Amino acid sequence: MFRRAFWFSAGAATGVWATVKVNRKLRSLAPDSLAARAADQAVAAGHRLKDFALDVRAGMAQREIELNDALGLTAATDPASPDALRPGAADHAEDRRGIAGPAPRRPALGATHPYDRNEDH
């Protein structure tokens, strides 16, 4: 008698477990669930791409500073000098992750460059 009750209970528990498992899988494969999961993955990929672009931009700024220093294109300024207090002398911005680097600068209108890409055309 106890054996029959044990096996009946084991069979019922297995049936309930299998039914729950199948229903969960069916819900996860529903179109709404698939669309939500795809949207979440697209947002996560966008965040990773934005972080990568910020890392590349910070690396580019750092490398530009290194190249300018190596070529002697930057002049060291004394922080106590009045020239160091002029606007834009020490522009450093922090991005949202706290990485410090030079703020992006745009050339002044009419500024000449030693090499103009358009002069070859």
* Per-residue H/E/C for 87-105: CCCCCEEECCCCCEEECCC
Q: Look up residue 90 and give its two tokens.
A: 């020490």
Q: Kindly report, residue by residue over 98-114, the tens digit of the pLDDT.
A: 555 565 565 565 555 55
Q: Kindly report, residue by residue over 16-44, the tens digit of the pLDDT.
A: 999 999 999 999 889 999 999 999 999 99
Question: What's the CA gap between 90 and 82, in Å, rounded?
Answer: 12
pTM higher than 0.85 for the full model?
no
Question: What's the CA gap between 16 and 39, in Å, rounded?
Answer: 32
Mean pLDDT of 34-58: 95
Q: Which of 94, 112, 114, 111 is nearest to 103 (CA)?
A: 94
Q: How many CB atoms lie within 10 A of CB 101?
A: 19
Question: What's the CA gap between 83 and 88, in Å, rounded?
Answer: 10
